[in-house]
A = this chain, B = another copy of it.
């Protein structure tokens, strides 16, 4: 398809950083949680090389924080996820699939615990707020569920630690992966976590004061001038090379966590009160699809995202990109497990693709 214009309105919500994103020359957006998410500023490839070498500031306000508070908070959170949350550490990010009573994926957020009665659910692209509110209403739980006034700003790339520590102080350097500290910017404490949707290293700053949005952005650019800081966004090439999954793209509400390889983020044999436990135990080992990588030496044109063998569909291509670093065409594909059982490659349009586990390990395939 040729490029199309995004029609922007109040429904595709802007963020506190939008004025700076626009001034930085954003070229593309997507819509994520009903909000604008910048996707590229130069080209996907130029942005990719820059991300891997320097440091970028990303407006990821669309990572909305669904705040669950009140005495029944922990009960509600545990009902929604098959991951055992009893060992969650305060201020720690916990990647946790949310599943319904059929064991199907509702979302794959990062959970952040502040206390037993206050959590954030840092969501991917679906209205978890509505699901949580519905459950809480139906069960008569004593909780409040709301979209918090929080706008995450990510700083990503090999020079991110240097930049964020210039702005928030050297305490930044001792933050471990998926851990956070409350650090001050202009007298206001906000959460800074070592996290982000790339594997180039970096942090996410959970802005909690609208008035500080533009000053924070500007300070990062002032302090980062010699680091070649630029505006960026989640990068299609980098995230696929790194095997970072995207809910709605690589999997959706028709898939279960086994199909997505999320087995390690579930504790379905634990004694937890979770609505999906029974279904997931029944599905285990019997799921139909498996998300895998298929690596081609050249770009492949798929017919309606399908991979067919002898006229039978064996795969559904969820994401695809040419990797300029590895000179491979990388695809994330929901493949029939039947097919995988006896094949480690597949031919599409005369081009052979090697089927590999995720995340990609390039030594093994190149």
Contact = CB atoms under 8 A, between A and B. Distances in A.
A156 B248 CA distance: 31
Given A28-B5, A29-B4, A275-B137, A10 B130 contact: no
A354 interface: no
Interface in A310-328: 318-319
A139 interface: yes
A40 interface: yes
B134 A130 contact: yes
B9 A319 contact: yes
Interface string A1-25: 1111111111110000000001000
B138 A131 contact: no
Given A7-B39, A40-B7, A249-B10, A137 B137 contact: no
Nearest to A2: B22
A28 B29 CA distance: 13
B11 A246 contact: yes
B27 A248 contact: no
B30 A7 contact: yes
Interface in A247-303: 247-250, 252-253, 275
Contacts of A1: 8, 22
Contacts of A30: 6-9, 11-12, 31
Interface stretch (A89-97, A120-128, A162-170): A120-128
Contact of A11 (B26, B29, B136, B248): B248
A101 interface: yes
Contact of A10 (B8, B26, B28, B319): B319
A29 B9 contact: no
A212 B100 CA distance: 32
Among A133, A134, A135, A247, residue most surrounded by chain B Cβ atoms (within 10 Å): A134
Interface string A92-117: 00000000110000100000000000
Nearest to A26: B4
Contact of A125 (B11, B22, B28): B11
A351 B98 CA distance: 51
Nearest to A146: B253
Nearest to A131: B130
Nearest to A233: B7
B9 A6 contact: no
A117 to B, nearest CB: 19
A276 to B, nearest CB: 10
Contacts of A319: 9-10
Nearest to A80: B134
A126 B130 contact: yes
A305 interface: yes
A50 interface: no
Nearest to A5: B28
A132 interface: yes
Contacts of A247: 11
A34 interface: yes
Interface of A: 1-12, 22, 26-31, 34, 39-40, 100-101, 106, 125-128, 130-140, 147, 236, 246-250, 252-253, 275, 305, 318-319
Given A11-B246, A100-B137, A134-B138, 11 more contacts: A1-B22, A9-B319, A11-B30, A11-B252, A131-B134, A134-B135, A137-B138, A138-B138, A138-B139, A138-B140, A147-B253
